[in-house]
Amino acid sequence: MDDILLLDAAERYLRGEMSEQEKTYFEDLRKTNPEVDQMVVEHTYFLHELESYGNTKNFKHNLHEVELKLTEEGVIKKPLLKGKAKVVYLWNRHKRTVAVAASIAAIVSVFSMGLSAIYNTGKTDPQLSQLSREVENIKRDQRNTNKTLKDFIKVDPGATPKSGGTGFLIDGNGYLITNTHVLKGQRIIATNDKGQQFLAKVCMKDDARDIAVLKIDDKDFKPYAQLPYSLNRKVKLAEPVYTLGYPKDEIVYSEGYLSSETGYKSDTLSYQISIAADHGNSGGPVLNKNGDVIGILTSNFEGGAVFAVKSMYIFKTVENLKKDTAYSDIKLSNANSIKKLTREDQVQKVNSCVFLIKSY
């Protein structure tokens, strides 16, 4: 029996496609020929490993899909990992997948070389060629997995941010507004309330007004069809206000009221507000009772006073930015879909539009 027929017979035997007469003959051949028996054993192990790997991947994928579905439906609440803990967890999870893929690739390579050494007598075996192609496919998938992993983990797990704060969307296509003083590094990461990280770039800075516009520049980001809030130019003294921000690695809600229609040293482009805020709140939205954005939280000064740049300056900033044709597509939100909702429901809608900003 030549090599090609032998490999074909082994495949048919393992798949149970032989007739009883063929099966009896082949089993007798295995008993009398150790090389044939060894080939069948190794081929069985090889196929078992591939099948086991495929089943494991499918099972993990199904579990992940079920978990996502139950989380989205509110049946279960998945704890969010933040900062370094989240990145290390993601690395460990994907690292195991890469290791399994590498192991399978090694098994395939060793098995293929073994068959070539034992059975190849100078002629090309189509089945061995097919195995070789499968090995290359697995190696390519492994390289793609490694590349995807590098793209997914946006920052070195051991990196320490140079600065940070809060930002929020002013356009559903990924345009964020924040403070310039939270952008001291070259690499900017925007993280949403689900813990998803996105690379962002600076579109413009206004150091005098402490305002910067960012654009999420990441293939993983999905644009928002509509933002829940609008920008409101009008606000009254003593009007209730609230803010959402990241004084720590999870979003924090604070409420207060407008205490002055002018800001620091009677600055007419800012408000003074009475609200609990920390440095990490810088760049966060200040909203009125209807869920309209009336300003951008900027800084804490002596005496605990908190100031916010008026929303009218957001309009001026965007008008100046749109003079650059690269950003002429910005459209500020002018519709409010949360006006009649309770404060709790407003916050749930606004949460997804507020981002933790870290600069490395």
212 and 113 in a common domain: no
How many whole angstroms separate alpha carbon 74 and alpha carbon 317?
Answer: 39
Average pLDDT on 155-160 reads 72
Highest mean pLDDT among 32-36, 121-125, 208-212: 208-212
Look at residue 70 in the predicted model and tell me its pLDDT: 72
- Token reading at 248: 């720590």
**Are residues 9 and 133 part of one domain?**
yes
A 10 A CB-CB count for 117 gives: 8
Local confidence band at 233 (pLDDT 50, 70, 90 cut-offs): confident
Q: Do 166 and 82 have their domain in common? A: no
The C-alpha atoms of residue 316 and residue 311 are separated, in whole angstroms, by 9
Q: Are residues 185 and 128 in the same domain?
A: no
Angstrom distance (rounded) from CA 72 to CA 64: 12
pLDDT band at 78 (very low <50, low <70, confident <90, very high): low
β-pair type (252-260, 240-245): antiparallel
Would you state the torsion angle of the CA atoms of residues 277, 279, 283, 288, taken in this order, to the nearest 10 degrees?
A: 0
Domain endpoint, select from 101, 130, 152:
152
pLDDT at 24 over 80: yes
Reported pTM: 0.60
Q: What percent of the chain has pLDDT over 90?
A: 48
What letter represents residue 288's amino acid? Answer: N
Taking the CA atoms of the chain, what radius of gyration do you get in angstroms?
Answer: 30
| CATH number of the domain enclosing 166 | 2.40.10.120
Residue 175 or 102, more confident = 175
Q: How confident is the model at residue 106 (pLDDT cuts 50, 70, 90)?
A: low
Q: Do 232 and 357 share a domain, yes or no?
A: yes
Domain count for the chain, please give it: 2
pLDDT of 21 > 60? The answer is yes
Q: Are residues 188 and 114 in the same domain?
A: no
> What's the first-to-final CA gap in the chain, in angstroms?
66
* For residue 81, pLDDT beyond 80: no
Same domain, yes or no, for 203 and 62? no
The answer on 314 and 209 residing in a single domain is yes
- Domain ends where: 152, 181, 200? 152
pLDDT band at 9 (very low <50, low <70, confident <90, very high): confident
- Let me know whether 332 and 281 are in one domain: yes
- Residue ending a domain, among 122, 152, 182, is 152
115 and 85: one domain? yes
Distances, alpha carbon 66 to alpha carbons 53, 56, 77, 124, 240, in Å: 20, 15, 13, 46, 42
Residue 327 has pLDDT above 80, yes or no: yes
* pLDDT, mean of residues 260-275: 91
Query: Which residues form the domain of 226?
Result: 160-360
Distance of CA 156 to the CA centre of its chain: 15
Q: What is the mean pLDDT of the chain?
A: 81
Higher pLDDT, 342 or 152: 342
Same domain for 228 and 274: yes
Tell me if 143 sits within 8 A of 133, measured CB to CB. no
pLDDT reading at 37 higher than 60: yes
What pLDDT score was predicted for residue 100? 54
Whether 302 and 320 map to the same domain: the answer is yes
